[in-house]
């Protein structure tokens, strides 16, 4: 394995944790207010913040020199571009198709996360699995908001955050 840069992995995880927290609050509000809240200015602002955070997150993970880096590079860029298109449509046209495009973009997040999983798995199998499978559950749960069952996504986001926090706690000791 080529040399993995733990500093950038840690930074990518910090940015991902911040984005996950923002997403968590957005998901809670979406669950409380209903799917129509997805086109509200508040929710869209949260999604724009998350989108902006995707840029340094991707950059840090790219600089980490992850395992199977092309998976991260291709699918993360695809997710960033697709969610940008959805955000533009949802924000400026207030069309729900924009939200659907954002969800479609998010389907690439767990695929891109395979590179992080393979790398973080060498640090801790449990926390890397929580991070990865939390992202999968989060993404799979997004369409369930249409039937008022967004809790699956919320639970997935929490699981993902637990994995990130676990990896960060270990990175202070193992990767310092």
Residues 55-91: pLDDT tens digits?
999 999 999 999 999 999 999 999 999 999 999 999 9
Report if residue 59 sits inside a domain. Answer: yes
Residues 122-138: pLDDT tens digits?
999 999 999 999 999 99
- Domain count for the chain, please give it: 1
Question: What is the C-alpha radius of gyration for the chain, rounded to an integer number of angstroms?
Answer: 16
Report if residue 176 sits inside a domain. Answer: no
Task: Work out the pLDDT band at 3, boundaries 50, 70, 90.
Answer: confident
Domain that holds residue 166: 6-171
Report if residue 109 sits inside a domain. Answer: yes
Q: What is the pTM of this model?
A: 0.94
Please count the CA atoms within 13 angstroms of the CA of 173 that sit on its side-chain side: 6
Report if residue 125 sits inside a domain. Answer: yes
Report if residue 1 sits inside a domain. Answer: no
From the centroid of its chain, how far is CA 167? 15
């Amino acid at each position: 394995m080529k040399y993995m840069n733990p500093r950038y992995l840690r930074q990518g995880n910090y940015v991902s944790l911040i984005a996950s927290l923002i997403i968590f609050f957005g998901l809670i509000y979406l669950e409380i207010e209903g799917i129509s809240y997805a086109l509200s200015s508040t929710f869209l602002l949260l999604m724009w913040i998350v989108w902006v955070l995707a840029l340094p997150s991707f950059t840090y993970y790219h600089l980490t020199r992850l395992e199977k880096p092309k998976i991260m590079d291709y699918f993360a860029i695809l997710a960033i571009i697709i969610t940008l298109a959805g955000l533009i449509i949802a924000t400026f046209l207030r069309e729900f198709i924009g939200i659907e495009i954002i969800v479609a973009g998010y389907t690439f997040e767990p695929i891109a996360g395979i590179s992080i999983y393979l790398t973080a798995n060498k640090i801790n199998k449990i926390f890397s699995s929580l991070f990865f499978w939390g992202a999968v559950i989060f993404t799979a749960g997004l369409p369930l908001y249409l039937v008022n069952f967004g809790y699956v996504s919320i639970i997935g986001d929490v699981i993902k955050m637990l994995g990130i926090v676990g990896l960060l706690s270990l990175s202070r000791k193992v990767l310092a």
